[in-house]
């Protein structure tokens, strides 16, 4: 299926590594000009270099998505660099919780909700006017399989991803007739640097993580990137308000 993206512009937040980097590279490989954003400037610039070395066009803009002024400046930077915005992948997120609900702290709650929920809300708030100015476009938000059910010892994280799905569905309905589609991608456990750091000291935990998925392995960042590109493509032109699980069958159990 042709993605028909050539010459358009995509924004990827959380683009310094992992799923964000893979998606930025995938967008660029389809001919899009890509704005990469993250609080990690070194990683973000690294993603841009990878795109440019492959013959693509990309720009890095540092942004803390929890701050309205910085998100507004990011959108201004997108317009200054490329004159338009067609697609946005709101992927910036954190995952720092490792205990039962009653063991959580207010600081953890504020940090997780700040990036995962407020960050997505602020990005959509400032992206949607740019998409409307273009006559439409598509947004994909990173939720999680934790947003589709329970996540023991990660209750705040799960709540944040349920909230992302709520924001996604609400925005999708509000702007459906304006040709702005809004969907979410819901990964299960994905082989990222974060995953490797968490499990490298305990191979048995890594084996358990793989066994959580009926396909018998964890996911690849490229598989999430492919889902994001599909949701942005013309092939998904009748799809909005959807939360796409990319989970190796985990939510089918």
Residues annotated as catalytic are: 157
> How many Å apart are CA 50 and CA 25, to the nearest integer?
8
Pinpoint the alpha helices (H) of 114-187: 119-133, 155-174
> How many Å apart are CA 170 and CA 165, to the nearest integer?
9
Q: Lay out the sheet containing 243-246: strands in order across.
A: 57-62, 33-38, 9-13, 87-90, 137-142, 180-187, 243-246
Angle at 44 between CA 77 and CA 117, to 5 degrees: 75
Go through the chain and tell me how many residues it has. 253
- Is residue 218 packed enough to be buried (19+ CB in 10 Å), middle (13-18) or exposed (0-12)? buried
Structure-block tokens of residue 21: 């980097």
DSSP 3-state of 85: coil
Cα distances from 55 to residues 33, 58, 157, 163, 238, in angstroms, run: 11, 10, 37, 38, 32
Structure-block tokens of residue 220: 């690849």
> How many Å apart are CA 195 and CA 251, to the nearest integer?
20
């Amino acid at each position: 299926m042709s993605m028909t993206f050539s010459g358009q512009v995509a924004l990827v937040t959380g683009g310094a590594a992992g799923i964000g980097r893979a998606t930025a590279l995938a967008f660029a490989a389809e001919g899009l000009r890509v704005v990469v954003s993250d609080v990690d400037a070194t990683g973000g610039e690294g993603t841009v270099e990878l795109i440019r070395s492959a013959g693509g066009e990309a720009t890095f803009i540092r942004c803390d998505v929890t701050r309205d002024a910085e998100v507004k400046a990011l959108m201004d930077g997108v317009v200054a660099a490329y004159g338009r915005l067609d697609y946005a992948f709101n992927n910036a997120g954190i995952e720092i919780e490792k205990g039962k609900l009653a063991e959580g702290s207010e600081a953890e709650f504020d940090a997780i909700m700040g990036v995962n929920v407020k960050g997505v809300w602020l990005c959509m708030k400032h992206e949607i006017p740019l998409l409307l100015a273009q006559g439409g476009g598509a947004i994909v938000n990173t939720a999680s399989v934790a947003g589709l059910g329970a996540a023991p010892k990660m209750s705040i994280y799960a709540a944040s991803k349920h909230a992302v799905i709520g924001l996604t569905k609400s925005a999708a309905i509000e702007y459906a007739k304006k040709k702005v589609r809004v969907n979410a991608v819901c990964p299960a456990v994905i082989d990222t640097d974060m995953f490797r750091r968490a499990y490298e000291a305990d191979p048995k935990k890594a084996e358990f993580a793989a066994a959580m998925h009926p396909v018998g392995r964890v996911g690849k960042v490229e598989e999430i990137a492919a889902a994001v590109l599909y949701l942005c493509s013309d092939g998904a032109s009748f799809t909005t308000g959807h939360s796409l699980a990319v989970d190796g069958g985990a939510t089918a159990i």
